[in-house]
Structure 1
Amino acid sequence: MPNKLLIAMLVAVLQLGSVGYAAEVEGVKLADQLELAGQTLQLNGAGLRKKMVFDVYVAALYGVNKTSEAQQILSAKSPKRLQLTMLRNVEGKALAEALRDGLQENLSASQFASHVSRIAELEKILLDTKQANKGDVINLDLIAGQGTRIQFRGQVIGSIQSDEFARDLLLIWLGNKPVQDSLKAKLLGR
């Protein structure tokens, strides 16, 4: 009898500690939900970023409410996370340039100019990482009232205090000229 109780307790503990996975993309397991800024976020969608023939990263978008509409995600005041899991080694300089280019593609000249100091902050943060290696995770946490918090390898490495910049940063993946159309569709759960 005591063995049955012990087994039942062990099973219960293991179930409590297990993480639910909603998706797997290119071997990257993605949690179906996570906690950010005191709220539970759901996996909205995930997909593969390719550049030419190279698999670069798996991107996953988390938000409070699932939606297939980019505008709803961009205008929501609730927390969001864009998680990038690297599938190859990429220098910090290349990451910084890619984000700059993505912003330039999706913002007017005056919008881009209004973010010059924030873009420089983001570039410095990414340059300081030197290199993101295969398997590394970069989280861009977008939190109303706090702006963008950047995590690398599980550590906060910087933040940029601007809600407008946080929203505009998502345009790289969800804007009218996304980094990759098929990735945008996947992030939107389509």
Structure 2
Amino acid sequence: MKNITLLIVALISLNTATAQIRVGKAVLPYEENFGDTDLKLNGAGMRAMLWIDLYAGGLYLQKKSKDPRAILDADETMAIKLNIVSGFVTQKKMIKAVRDGFNKATFGNTKSLDERINKFIKFFNEPIVKNDIFDIVYIKDKGVHCFKNGKKLGEIEGRDFKYALFKIWLGDEPASDDIKNGMLGLQ
């Protein structure tokens, strides 16, 4: 009986160990389920500045892809997970980074998205601390749903909003080339 118990514990530990990936100090799951859709980790990378890891980012898709344009254009459920690993990521800095990201993603033409961008930025109205996890999920035909530590913050309609939002990490001028390449599974 003791051997069977040890075998069961070993199998459970092995299964748990292979269900996640370590990215720097962050641990991201290989699979997620949002909107009743199973998503698999496409890739993950670290956003760093001046040799300081800020957050790990993972891209979750239904089918793996290395093509950022196809991912941005796709009208299917997908998600980006951001795992904050540094106290240098604050509410104020996150809001500025998101605004800057939308400006780059839209070449400064945010007019049609301004109301929704402002709504999205309100999702960061509470302090951001180390180990916070944000899930930014596009659910087909429903829009972008945002979660912080598993708690739903809200949702924003529009595939055009999803396109601009995901372009912050996957566009031609991403938040970080390392995180873009990691999310695309190129590293």
Does the CA-based 8 Å contact 2:32-2:38 persist in structure 1?
yes
What 5-or-longer segments of structure 1 have no aligned partner?
none
Secondary structure of the residue aligned to 2:55 is strand
Residue of structure 2 in register with 1:76 after alignment:
74
Greater relative contact order (CA < 8 Å, ≥ 6 in sequence): 2
Does the CA-based 8 Å contact 2:46-2:53 persist in structure 1?
yes
Taking every aligned residue pair, what percent have the same amino acid on both sides? 27
Residue of structure 1 in register with 2:158 after alignment:
162
- How does the TM-score come out when normalised to structure 1? 0.87
C-alpha distance in structure 2 between counterparts of 1:18 and 1:51, whole Å: 31
What 5-or-longer segments of structure 2 have no aligned partner?
none
Residue of structure 2 in register with 1:34 after alignment:
32
Secondary structure of the residue aligned to 2:98 is helix
Superposed, 1:65-104 pairs within 5 Å as 65-89=63-87, 90-104=89-103
Greater displacement, 98-107 / 70-79: 70-79
Once the two structures are superposed, residues 136-164 of structure 1 have per-residue CA deviations (whole angstroms, 9 ceiling, x without a partner) of 10110111222111111210012112221
- How does the TM-score come out when normalised to structure 2? 0.88
Secondary structure of the residue aligned to 1:108 is coil
In structure 1, what residue type is equivalent to 2:169?
A: W
C-alpha distance in structure 2 between counterparts of 1:177 and 1:171, whole Å: 8
Secondary structure of the residue aligned to 1:132 is coil
Residue of structure 1 in register with 2:185 after alignment:
189
Report the Cα offset of residue 109 of structure 1: 3.9
C-alpha distance in structure 1 between counterparts of 2:134 and 2:11, whole Å: 30
The alignment of Structure 1 onto Structure 2 pairs a total of residues equal to 185
With over 3 angstroms needed to count, the CA separation of the structure-2 counterparts of 1:50 and 1:12, relative to structure 1, is closer
Secondary structure of the residue aligned to 1:121 is helix
C-alpha distance in structure 1 between counterparts of 2:33 and 2:10, whole Å: 22
C-alpha distance in structure 2 between counterparts of 1:9 and 1:56, whole Å: 39
Report the Cα offset of residue 51 of structure 1: 2.2
C-alpha distance in structure 1 between counterparts of 2:20 and 2:14, whole Å: 17
After superposing on structure 2, the runs of 4+ consecutive aligned residues of structure 1 that deviate more than 6 Å are: none
Alignment equivalent of 1:23, drawn from 21, 24, 29: 21
In structure 1, what residue type is equivalent to 2:138?
A: L
Once the two structures are superposed, residues 142-190 of structure 1 have per-residue CA deviations (whole angstroms, 9 ceiling, x without a partner) of 1122211111121001211222101210000111111111221111000
Secondary structure of the residue aligned to 1:73 is helix
In structure 2, what residue type is equivalent to 1:81?
A: A
Once the two structures are superposed, residues 31-69 of structure 1 have per-residue CA deviations (whole angstroms, 9 ceiling, x without a partner) of 111111112111001011012332110001100010110
Q: In angstroms, what is the RMSD of aligned CA positions? A: 2.3
